[in-house]
């Protein structure tokens, strides 16, 4: 019973805010709450009537690229609550990072044991943990191992031919990176 209740506790906000000065968890929590309440959706105008009194908050005046993951966390928050949804998302992202790295290593014909060890190291990487509570979108790095596949194809002397399967896979990885986190898109 206690373990289930712990999922609803935030990882850094203990009220007055005790997190680091440059933390974004409060704004991410606001985005998730707005998505939970139906005011925040990808590729749609964002007006939050509960904020910005007396007229409501207009969140349309700056570009923001992390709409899709925040919206999905908000949908999950409708069922389990805001902080539980953020906690589930962080665990899911660590797991997906390890799984993706494992399959990329196996694609490159790395031994199963080494692939598992490398996937475990990447899925539990300290940079993911250090950014998780304060910058949850930076922890969303499961697609980064896919860059290794594309880079290897690009470094081959024959390159990637436009219109080929490798070309479209590379385009999909780039598009996915742009939807998930602009920091990794620049890689």
List pLDDT tens digits, range 52-105: 767 777 777 777 777 888 899 999 999 999 889 988 998 999 999 999 999 999
Give a yes or no: residue 85 inside a domain: yes
Which domain range does residue 36 map to?
Answer: 23-185
> What average pLDDT does range 154-171 have in this prediction?
90
Q: Give the contacts of 15 (CB within 8 A, at least 6 positions apart).
A: none
Number of domains forming the structure of the chain? 1
User: Cα separation of 64 and 75, whole Å?
Assistant: 18
pTM to 2 decimals? 0.78
Give a yes or no: residue 4 inside a domain: no
Tell me which of 109 and 2 has the higher pLDDT: 109
3-state secondary structure (DSSP) of residue 27: helix
User: Cα separation of 73 and 170, whole Å?
Assistant: 26
Tell me which of 1 and 112 has the higher pLDDT: 112
Tell me which of 179 and 84 has the higher pLDDT: 84
User: Cα separation of 116 and 100, whole Å?
Assistant: 11
Give a yes or no: residue 122 inside a domain: yes
CA angle 136, 105, 110 (to 5 degrees): 150
CB half-sphere exposure, 90, CA atoms < 13 A: 24
Residue 113's pLDDT is 97
Give a yes or no: residue 9 inside a domain: no
Beta-carbon neighbour count of residue 96 at 10 Å? 15
Give a yes or no: residue 59 inside a domain: yes
Give a yes or no: residue 171 inside a domain: yes
List pLDDT tens digits, range 98-155: 999 999 999 999 999 999 999 999 999 887 777 666 777 888 888 899 999 999 998 8
User: Cα separation of 74 and 78, whole Å?
Assistant: 7
E-strand stretches of 5-105? 47-48, 57-58
Give a yes or no: residue 13 inside a domain: no
**CA distances for 26 relative to 15, 49, 50, 52, 134, angstroms:** 11, 18, 16, 16, 9
Residue 108's pLDDT is 94
Give a yes or no: residue 33 inside a domain: yes
Reported confidence tier of residue 24, pLDDT bands at 50, 70, 90 = confident
């Amino acid at each position: 019973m206690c373990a289930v209740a712990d999922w609803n506790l935030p990882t850094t906000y203990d009220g007055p805010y005790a997190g680091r000065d440059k933390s974004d968890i409060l704004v991410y929590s606001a985005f998730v709450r707005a998505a939970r309440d139906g005011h925040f959706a990808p590729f749609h105008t964002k007006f939050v009537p509960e904020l910005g009194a007396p007229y409501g908050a207009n969140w349309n005046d700056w570009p923001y690229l992390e709409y899709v993951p925040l919206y999905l966390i908000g949908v999950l928050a409708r069922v389990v609550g805001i902080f539980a949804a953020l906690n589930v998302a962080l665990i899911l992202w660590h797991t997906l990072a390890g799984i993706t790295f494992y399959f990329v290593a196996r694609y490159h014909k790395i031994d199963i044991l080494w692939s598992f060890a490398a996937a475990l190291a990447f899925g539990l990487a300290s940079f993911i943990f250090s950014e998780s509570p304060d910058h949850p979108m930076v922890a969303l790095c499961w697609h980064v191992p896919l860059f290794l596949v594309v880079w290897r194809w690009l470094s081959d002397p024959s390159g990637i031919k436009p219109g080929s399967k490798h070309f479209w896979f590379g385009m999909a990885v780039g598009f996915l990176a742009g939807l998930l986190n602009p920091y990794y898109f620049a890689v």
